[in-house]
Structure 1
Amino acid sequence: MASRLAAAVTDPDGNGELATEADSPSGRNVTDTWTTQLVLGHTQDMSVIDGEAEGLAID
């Protein structure tokens, strides 16, 4: 069974989710604090979205 981390980035209706392997560098960084940041855009014009992560077992 693969272990993945999911970070929900939701709109007002609660839609949206991202995932990464738990043993990847990103997954290991997330499990240190269980917080996430998603950065969209280019260097001078970007949006930063903060979130919380949770571990999920994938069948």
Structure 2
Amino acid sequence: MTDHVARNGEWCPGWGDRAAHVALRSDLTADHVTPVAAGGREDGPLTVRCRACNSAKGARVAP
């Protein structure tokens, strides 16, 4: 998470209809690229999303 903020600032790439936007650092979460519930691995690749976008994504795979 710290590396993401150092490179990109407090930025969330968005999800679905929600465009990329600034998010408070305390609101950023790690998100599995392929959710564990959809067959992803617990130690699989992660991305950063704000809590709202991470919750909206749920167990779906990014388009």
TM-score, scaled relative to structure 1 = 0.29
Larger Rg over CA atoms: 1
Report the structure, 1 or 2, having the larger helix content.
2
Q: Which has the higher contact order (CA 8 A, sep 6+)?
A: 1
Report the structure, 1 or 2, having the larger strand content.
1
TM-score, scaled relative to structure 2 = 0.28
